[in-house]
Amino acid sequence: MATRLTKELFREAQTYSQTIVNGLNKAVSPFHSVATVKSLLHKQDFKELKETEEWELEGGSKYYFTRNNSSICAFAIGKNVREGSVPNSFKLVGCHTDSPTIRIAPISNIDKAGYKEMGVQCYGGGIWNTWFDRDLTFAGRVVTYNDDTGRLEDKLWHHKNPLIRIPNLAIHLCSADERTNKEKHLKPIIATSIIDALMDPSSDEEEKIVKESRYSIEKKHLKSFLDLMAGEIDTKAENIVDFELSMVDTNKSCLMGLHKEFISSGRLDNMLSSLVATHSLLDVSKDIPDDNSVNMIYLFDHEEVGSKSDQGADGVLVKDSLERIYASFNEGMIDVGYKSALRHSLCISADMAHAIHPNYADKHQAQHTPMMHKGIVLKTNCNQRYMTDSVNSAIIRELANRADVPLQDFMIKQDLPCGSTIGPALASTVGMKVIDIGAPQLSMHSCREICGTTDTLYYHNLFCEFFRNFQDVAGSILDH
Ligand SMILES: [Zn+2]
């Protein structure tokens, strides 16, 4: 039942992909990703829950909650769910909000060879060479002290203009064995020392009185950098307590190629999946079905560094929240009905996949060569790096048939180590069936990645079909 790619479908995919590109341009850090998703959910009347408060849930309603402002879960409860008529299955799409990047060090102020440089640390496994010679900036979360209230607050910051640069070494100065050293070579320059001193407003004073702030932040980071940040988040530099700021490319995400058939962006892994999952849940939640299932998305922080944290997938976040949703309709109790609901549930772990690379085609096994515009990739690894098995793949294959979504199979070459996803963590911590799928892309973990527009629409259509028809397709095959 192969789908024929038509011009109409391709045009529809371009339009849909532009929506995703708009989201990618806002989702510049895990904190911004959560804020972006939150604003989409708000527009469609999803109500915010707090984990610190009692949850009073109702069937036929839509909710979301965040943890650490870097992970987010949204869900829509079937209309038949009420006290005594508990949820009987959970349909999850799980993705991640984080991407490999370079973050500011706890003490970043470096004065070297006439430059103001910034100390950094690498987050995850990036292709660090791709961050050189780009017009970069910073984005993330800043914690401040509010003078008026005496309270701590967290704020988002994204400076939109080019601010920092990791300069390449001129080819004439390279020795034959020159390799990027993460400690030595990734520090960006932000200013020259001479101009920074010239522009310092306190430099005119005869005696410089360095006013020590409550948190001594000015001893750790460049004062003019703190001033810039403080001005943009409406605080004073001395009231900045701490921050988690990551490098971001200022070059905007866009459609590209001769036929505008590619999405070019940072963070496709895995904000593309996260945004598509969000739009799919929004679409299917316009009309919540008369059943006892719960449609959900979980977008986790910390996948790129192993998922072990209180907001990561290899923790209790999913278990906590599924139990809480179930217990809300069962006098606060978890019982055998919950265990049964888990066995009738499925989580799609949606993370990007490796398309075959024309210049490195031998890196793919000849029979497993996912291509752009040819569909969603089922990832299989019998050593359980991916959770796909014959039962959950059969369910997805049938859903894909019904939704006219082509599928492709991927298995890593046997002489290469296999990557992994949130899949194994979720399956083992929650005790539910998980399948690993993804949209094919090139340049994974580069500062700039690309994927195909058509697969982006296929991804959406498959998620919607899953939310709408999983129980019908799964039947009793998950009963044993
Ligand atoms: Zn990923």
What's the CA-to-centroid distance between 353 and ligand 1, angstroms?
8
pLDDT at residue 205 above 80?
no
What's the CA-to-centroid distance between 71 and ligand 1, angstroms?
14
For residues 280-301, give the mean pLDDT.
97
Residue that the structure tokens 């009073």 belong to: 56
CA distance linking residue 326 with residue 339, whole number of Å = 10
How confident is the model over 15-58, as pLDDT tens digits? 999 999 999 999 999 999 999 999 999 999 999 999 999 999 99
What's the CA-to-centroid distance between 379 and ligand 1, angstroms?
13
What's the CA-to-centroid distance between 396 and ligand 1, angstroms?
20
pLDDT at residue 287 above 70?
yes
408 forms beta bridges with 377
List the strands of the sheet with 449-452, edge to edge: 254-256, 262-265, 449-452, 440-442, 353-354
Which segment of 315-329, 408-422, 435-449 scores lowest on mean pLDDT? 408-422
CA distance linking residue 254 with residue 15, whole number of Å = 12
- The structural domains of the chain, ordered by start, are 7-99+266-474 (3.40.630.10), 101-249 (2.30.250.10)
**What element of type H or E holds 7?**
helix 7-26
CA 174 to chain CA centroid, Å, is: 36
pLDDT at residue 210 above 50?
no
pLDDT at residue 10 above 80?
yes
How confident is the model over 231-242, as pLDDT tens digits? 999 999 999 999
What's the CA-to-centroid distance between 245 and ligand 1, angstroms?
20
Q: Which residues contact 17 (CB under 8 A, 6 or more apart)?
A: 255, 263, 453, 456, 457
What's the CA-to-centroid distance between 303 and ligand 1, angstroms?
7
For residues 89-103, give the mean pLDDT.
98
Confidence (pLDDT) at 209: 46
CA distance linking residue 430 with residue 450, whole number of Å = 33
How confident is the model over 107-122, as pLDDT tens digits? 999 999 999 999 999 9
What's the CA-to-centroid distance between 65 and ligand 1, angstroms?
22
**Cα distances (Å, whole numbers) of residue 438 to 306, 378, 380, 391:** 18, 7, 11, 18
Confidence (pLDDT) at 480: 78
pLDDT at residue 373 above 60?
yes
How confident is the model over 297-353, as pLDDT tens digits? 999 999 999 999 999 999 999 999 999 999 999 999 999 999 999 999 999 999 999
pLDDT at residue 213 above 80?
no
* Helix axes of 7-26 and 268-284: crossing angle, nearest 10 degrees: 110
For a pLDDT cut of 70, what percent of the chain falls above it?
97
CA distance linking residue 222 with residue 104, whole number of Å = 12
What's the CA-to-centroid distance between 99 and ligand 1, angstroms?
7
What's the CA-to-centroid distance between 352 and ligand 1, angstroms?
6
What's the CA-to-centroid distance between 269 and ligand 1, angstroms?
5
What's the CA-to-centroid distance between 394 and ligand 1, angstroms?
23
What's the CA-to-centroid distance between 419 and ligand 1, angstroms?
9
| Higher-scoring residue by pLDDT: 85, 206 | 85
CB < 8 Å & 24+ apart, contacts of 361-370: 363/413, 363/416, 364/413, 365/411, 365/412, 365/413, 365/414, 368/409, 368/410, 368/411, 370/408, 370/409, 370/410, 370/440
Residue that the structure tokens 């990036």 belong to: 126
pLDDT at residue 9 above 90?
yes
